[in-house]
Amino acid sequence: MKPPMRSVLFAVFLVSLVIPILRAQVSNDRLLRSADEPRNWMMYSGTYASQRYSTLSQINPSNVKNLEQKWIFQAESLEKFETTPLVVDGIMYITQAPSDALALDAKTGRVFWIYRYYPSTDARPCCGSVNRGLAILGDTLFLATLDAHLIALDAKTGRPIWNTRVANASAGYAMTVAPLVVKDKVIVGVAGGEFGIRGFIAAYDVRTGREAWRFNTIPGPGEPGHETWQGQADAWEHGGGAIWTTGSYDPALNLTYWGTGNPGPDWNPGQREGDNLYSDSVVALDTDTGKLKWSFQFTPNDPYDYDSTQVPVLVDTNWNGSPRKLMMWANRNGFFYVLDRANGQFLAGYPFVKVNWASGLDAKGRPIQTPQPENAPTFPGVQGGTNWYSPSYSPHTGLFYVSAWENYASVFVKEEQKYQEGQRFVGGRPTTPIPGGQNIPSLKRGPINVWTEAAGHGAVVAIDPRTGDKKWRFLMTDVTDSGILTTATDLLFAGGREGYFHALDARTGTLLWNASLGGQVASGPMTFEVEGKQYVSVAAGHSLFTFALR
Amino acid sequence: MVRKCCLALAVISSLVGNRPASAQYSQADVEAGYTLYNANCITCHGANGDSIPGVNLRTNQFRRVATDAELNRLIQTGIPGTAMPPGRYTTADLAGLVAYIRSMRDFDTIAPGRGDAVHGQTIFEEKGNCTSCHRVNRKGSRVAPDLSDIGAIRSPDALRRSLMDPTGSMLPLNRYVRAVTRDGKVITGRRLNEDTYTIQLIDTEERLVSLVKSDLREYVVLKTSAMPPYKEKLTSGELDDVVAYLRTLKGAR
């Protein structure tokens, strides 16, 4: 029987009284305690510690085989789909390439609104017109655009609130990063390391979009570190140090940590002699002022394009018997590092893939470089032992998990190159070590793979941070650009270029479940809960797939 | 690297002027384009212009553009929604890039006029017995790669190398595989695709076969070519003739 209209309206009225309480705004306090509400995923890396670890436990190793697809959202874009969704109280917020934002019902995938942004045609991203996701505070979303604008959006309507030009797109500056909200600021950095930009990280007032501080990743004349730019006089002005993955935040230390990109030009270090600070580094910045507290450089005077644009993973655990605030980092250069995140002290480092550009790390963590002869292969190759896709740390297993490219090399060729604004500024190129063969397609592959066994392969590698031991490896035929998610039930979710999405046992690496999604996974899986049901979402190909138990 | 550059440029120099396809582009443009290509395009497209699946610049046939003006425009605008970025170049640079891309297929060549293509076809079909494995324009077996457009996508030098030393010049994408199922059935064929869990191939009976690795007792990718080396089977003149014939195979698209 149909209920009378009046009772329906009354019921709607009652619900409307309840919903504002349930759907409270995303306060700074909620962001700080995001680990305490695992039903939501309120920032790119899940929490400020960026472990991509969830305490949701409905899906576990015994029932994971009962996962089924609940919905698919098909993006209106043929670009790589790199977004990590946010979920807040049943609403999902995603980006689609190049720079659109959308709100969806997290239970059904139906769309509430789309904010379409048309980046200026001046935008010249090196490697795809992609976007990795949003940040949220209060009822406001923050979107970094391909043409280097930062836009605040009303989370209920998708209407823009303010739009700040962060940098000059026609000079090669772009943004693909998911912003990070810290207190009353939203922090972003600029991409463009293949266009001779001078990188920076900047904070903007969440209410007005006004710049609050800026940290130049390449120090100018008179600033400490400037002396690490020798060779050509203007080398530092085009020194790169781009930012394209989201940083982390330690509220107790009041520091935000960001990984920086390659020095420019990428492959000709002779044009920029010296260590080239702060390229290929992690920088620890005061969140209120943007002042540098400490830095650690992974690859000084890098000739390989070993960007350190990985997500800093913050872990509080015992180290040699006493509690310590750690940072763990599997770097594109093939080494896994453990640092003290209060002061940047190097604690340990081990190769996690085949490495021949360095014979090891010294007591301070500086690589002992062993450049290979001309035309000889360098391991790892240009895409690195890993890259931008997020790793995961499980406090439950104590293991660090990373998507790796194993047994993979490039032959690097140097060339002198003049800087011209807006032009690629790379100083050479990587080539394949296989005679007559191709390079592994660096960014995107079609559905056919017939040669990677000669060129390298993908793996999920579980690293014991205390010893560097690889506890287990899950091998794939093709390489992978997938992020990793772990849960308190010792599940690990990851995909790869083949378009499979796997659930592994995080303790052993045993395959528990997989699904073919038909397009490469170039994003980080995440999990959330709505109305008592746990979901897992991952973007693959040009669609976002969401699974839950049958 | 410098040596390789000069060699390539020397090849370009020898090409331009005596090959009609390149004659419409000036040597200076092609050389300038070569440098620009190596600085801007090679990371994605590769040295041979074939690193992106489904895109082979050497074929000179493009999905989205036909004329030089359209190619010129595409280089400037990029292709929205793909990894192909917009490029900002001067008019002169664009002319160079277009000239180089249009000339890529003519690179790395043996002297034009060497070899008799008509005689080459006879050797290919009779003495060489090539059609017992290869197919050209709907004639021959599908067990080995179809060669109907091989002249558009491989340089004459590469063709000659393949004839002399098939195993040494076999690309991973043409590897043969041998699989044994749990019940002992042996399947051999040319691999078409492979992932962590499955393999797709064309078997010796020209059937398209898809196998699940966990159903197999044995699986090997063979690193040697099933093709015999023609170094001793054919005279040097006959090899020239076969290469001349293969160069005429530009495909029917």
Q: What does each of the 253 residues of chain B score in pLDDT, given as a tens digit?
A: 333 333 333 334 333 333 334 457 887 888 888 888 877 887 778 777 877 767 888 777 787 888 888 888 889 888 766 667 778 888 888 988 888 888 887 654 445 568 899 999 999 999 999 999 999 999 999 999 999 988 877 778 888 989 999 988 787 777 899 999 999 999 999 999 999 999 999 999 999 999 999 999 999 999 888 899 998 899 999 999 999 999 889 876 4
Q: What is the DSSP string of A474-493?
A: EEESS-----EEEETTSEEE
Q: Does domain B176-222 have CATH number 3.40.190.10?
A: no
What is the pLDDT, as a whole number, of residue A529? 98
Nearest by CB to B86, from A121, A432, A451: name it: A121
| Distance (Å) from the alpha carbon of B60 to chain A's nearest alpha carbon | 19
Nearest by CB to A129, from B80, B169, B191: name it: B80
Catalytic residue selected from A305, A307, A478, A481: A305
Determine the residue type at A469. D
User: Which of B23, A317, B31, A534 lies closest to A327 in space, CA to CA?
Assistant: A317
Structure tokens that stand for A517 in this block: 């999604």
User: Is A496 an 8 Å CB contact of chain B?
Assistant: yes
Confidence check: pLDDT of A89 > 80: yes
What is the pLDDT, as a whole number, of residue A92? 98
User: Is A425 an 8 Å CB contact of chain B?
Assistant: no
State the number of CA atoms in the 13 A half-sphere of B207 facing the CB.
Answer: 6
Contacts of residue A124 in chain B, CB cutoff 8 Å?
85-88
Q: Delimit the domains of chain B by residue range.
A: 2-106, 117-170+227-247, 176-222
State the number of CA atoms in the 13 A half-sphere of A80 facing the CB.
Answer: 27
Cβ within 8 Å of residue B113, ≥6 positions away? none
Average pLDDT for residues A470-480, to the nearest whole number?
A: 96
CA dist., res. B35 & res. B33, Å (int): 5
ipTM field: 0.83
What CATH number was assigned to the domain covering residues B2-106? 1.10.760.10
Cβ within 8 Å of residue A108, ≥6 positions away? A70, A71
CB B80 within 8 A of CB A129: yes
CA dist., res. B131 & res. B148, Å (int): 12
User: Is A128 an 8 Å CB contact of chain B?
Assistant: yes
What is the pLDDT, as a whole number, of residue A437? 63
Cβ within 8 Å of residue B103, ≥6 positions away? B12, B15, B16, B21, B22, B25, B30, B33
List pLDDT tens digits, range A133-174: 999 999 999 999 999 999 999 999 999 999 999 999 999 999
What phi and psi, each to the nearest 5 degrees, are found at residue B36?
-65, -40
| Distance (Å) from the alpha carbon of A9 to chain B's nearest alpha carbon | 45
How many Å is the maximal CA-CA distance in chain B? 65
Q: Look at the block and give the residue holding tokens 């360098």.
A: A378
User: Is A120 an 8 Å CB contact of chain B?
Assistant: no
Contacts of residue B76 in chain A, CB cutoff 8 Å?
none
List pLDDT tens digits, range A414-451: 999 999 998 899 999 888 887 666 667 677 777 888 77
Determine the residue type at B155. S
Q: How distant, in Å, are the alpha carbons of B122, B139, B163, B173, B250 from that of B131?
A: 11, 7, 14, 20, 17
Helix/strand/coil for A96 = strand
Average pLDDT for residues A239-254, to the nearest whole number?
A: 98
pTM score, whole prediction: 0.86
Same-fold call for B2-106 versus B117-170+227-247: yes
Buried b (16+ CB within 10 A) or exposed e, A7-21: eeeeeeeeeeeeeee
| Distance (Å) from the alpha carbon of B227 to chain A's nearest alpha carbon | 18
Confidence check: pLDDT of A295 > 90: yes
CB B193 within 8 A of CB B146: no
Contacts of residue B46 in chain A, CB cutoff 8 Å?
432, 438-439
What is the pLDDT, as a whole number, of residue A134? 98
CA dist., res. B69 & res. B87, Å (int): 15
What CATH number was assigned to the domain covering residues B117-170+227-247? 1.10.760.10
Q: How many CB pairs under 8 A join A and B?
A: 110
Please indicate whether residue A305 is annotated as part of the active site.
yes
User: Which of A77, A169, A56, A167 lies closest to A122 in space, CA to CA?
Assistant: A169
Q: How distant, in Å, are the alpha carbons of A67, A240, A312, A485 from that of B83?
A: 33, 21, 27, 27
